[in-house]
Amino acid sequence: MIPKSGVAKNDHVKKRTEWSTFALIVACYAIWIAVVFGLAAHAPVLAVLLAGLVVAFHASLEHEVLHGHPFRSKALNEALVFLPLNLFIPYNRFRDLHLAHHQDSNLTDPYDDPESNYLDPAVWSQMPSWKRALFRLNNTLFGRMLVGPLIGQTMFTLADWRTAMRGDRGVILAWALHIPGVAIVIALVLASPMPFWAYVISAYMGLSILKIRTFLEHRAHVKSRARTVIIEDRGPLAFMFLNNNLHVVHHMNPNAAWYKLPTLYRAGRERYLESNETYVFRSYAEVFRRYFFVAKDPVPHPLWPKD
């Protein structure tokens, strides 16, 4: 049976080294170097686009690492993604917030789910009209890709600043470790033919691509098991996101490696869809058709008490 606790049945099995994941990490850095130091000198526009794809893929690899891949050693795994190619998000904060997000009973909670895009209706009611318009735009896929990284980064950074000012050592350490990593990335870019402003565009583009994946990963629903999506895509975006489009499979098997998720889904498709009450899309093309200019749901949490 599919575990309902959010923990994979086979978590007790001794984990093997996942050389395919390690190879992807090495390839990711190799392509990044080739693009920034090589292609940027000859085809700068193409280099910006490809660098954005690499930034997004690196984030998917960070997601694998925080779930314990590819090696048994946490320190070794995290050393592999030490360089923050996206410039803006400390790995330790991504790790801690994402693992907190895996508490399925809190999914979509405006306060306790750190990855929720819903707002408390009381907060929403106090917002000025221009801010509401911005958040409504952010609830379309077009808006999420256009302004979503800026909104998300601003809210995230301000929240971390307030937490750090209260003396949270974990947050302070995360940013302290982030600074030397981002300094190395900046130094490498400055030594390359790619202008730094162009690389910032690439980093933003990478975060924008990731918003495609997170756009409708979770919905407001009275049942926590029915809040997590399945997107049955098998194309380039599925690979870019390392099969995390099969999101309910990941939440129920959080320690399963990316290449195991399709097999797990095929073996238990009916049970997974029964579990999430058929919150499913056939492909990312369907998602774009339905929600590119249309909001998928309201900004204020529809099930949250209005007072």
Q: Which residues pair with 119 in a beta bridge?
A: 300
Pairing verdict, β 230-231 and 280-281? parallel
* Separation CA 231–CA 204 (nearest Å): 24
The pLDDT, as a whole number, for residue 307 is: 66
Residue type, 239: F
The pLDDT, as a whole number, for residue 129 is: 96
Alpha helices in the chain (DSSP H): 19-33, 44-66, 74-80, 91-101, 121-125, 129-138, 141-146, 148-165, 169-190, 196-214, 236-240, 247-252, 261-267, 269-275, 284-291
Nearest to 246 by CA among 115, 257, 101: 257
Nearest to 227 by CA among 136, 118, 96: 118
Q: Where are the domains of the chain?
A: 19-217
The pLDDT, as a whole number, for residue 16 is: 80
Distance of CA 143 to the CA centre of its chain: 17
The pLDDT, as a whole number, for residue 15 is: 67
**Regions of the chain with pLDDT less than 50:** 1-13
247-287 residue pLDDT tens: 999 999 999 999 999 999 999 999 999 999 999 999 999 99
